[in-house]
Amino acid sequence: MRGLRHPAIPLAGGLFRRTIGRVPPPVRLYLVRHCDVENPRRVLYGYLPGFGLSAKGVSQAHAIGRYLSGRPIRTIRTSPLERARQTAAIIAGHLDAPEVVPDPDLVEARFSRYLQGVGYAQVPWRRPLWWVHMASPGLLRRDETVREMAARVERALFLLLDAEPGSEGVGVSHGDPIQAFWIRSLGRPAWALHRLQCAKGGLLALDYDRRRLVDIKYLPPATLDAAAAPSPASDVSHA
């Protein structure tokens, strides 16, 4: 590793030149949950087409974009599903022309295929295996374990870390994969998957020392919206 050279320093026994290695600063990544979805029938949409962002979701995505504006973000990796791609595109519009890359590792949880198309209130009796999933995620053949979901999210994040040294990156995904990554990083048990919530339009700010995750901070939509809002002009008429 290249180091900073310091002038000769007198020490006992003669003059020595001391090399101090540069310690790279942590790199920040952002793991975003897609924003609010237009869903008047209130069904679980899973992998179904035709579920884009609502007006609220568009506003949330612009708030995230404004919050990230000015950051050295070169790449956005996104789930291929419509709501995530739309979120990524709006965020990208506030940045300095980042590359937007579809990434199947960031796609919705596999178990969503079993639930999709069913109204929220009908799930417990029309999709009874939901009870098994809630008690023990990954036990069913059509389900994924928390470890599997967390691993695929981490693969996408490592690609962002490797894309351009020193730059930041954004991943856009879905609730269960993000929460799986989150609880695995915190060392929480699998049953905590649905108890630690990243809201639609929220994000995790992740600080990495090389490939080691050193800090996680959750920013909910309200915080992002407030942080991104322009400051009101000061009234100096009575100054």
**Residue 232: per-residue pLDDT:** 52
Contacts of 2 (CB under 8 A, 6+ apart): 22
Provide the CA 61 distance to its chain's centre, in angstroms: 13
**Residue 66: per-residue pLDDT:** 97
Q: At residue 78, what is the residue type? A: T
Helix (H, G, I), strand (E, B) or coil at 55: helix
**Residue 3: per-residue pLDDT:** 35
Maximum CA extent, the chain = 83
Q: Report the C-alpha gap between 60 and 202 in whole angstroms.
A: 9
For 14-25, give the DSSP string: EEE--EEE--PP
**Residue 210: per-residue pLDDT:** 86
Q: 3-state DSSP helix/strand/coil percent for the chain, to nearest 5?
A: 35, 25, 40
Q: Report the C-alpha gap between 154 and 147 in whole angstroms.
A: 10
Query: Is 85 in contact with 78 (CB distance < 8 Å)?
Result: yes
**Residue 165: per-residue pLDDT:** 78
**Residue 231: per-residue pLDDT:** 53
**54: which 2 tokens?**
């609502």
**190: which 2 tokens?**
């699998």
Query: Is 184 in contact with 43 (CB distance < 8 Å)?
Result: no
pLDDT along the chain (239 residues), means of 10: 35 40 79 98 97 98 97 97 98 97 98 97 96 95 96 97 89 98 96 94 96 96 87 40
**Residue 236: per-residue pLDDT:** 35
Task: Tell which CATH architecture fits domain 25-109+145-228.
Answer: 3-Layer(aba) Sandwich (3.40)
Q: At residue 5, what is the residue type? A: R
From residue 199, how far is each of 5, 105, 116, 174 by CA, in Å? 48, 20, 19, 10
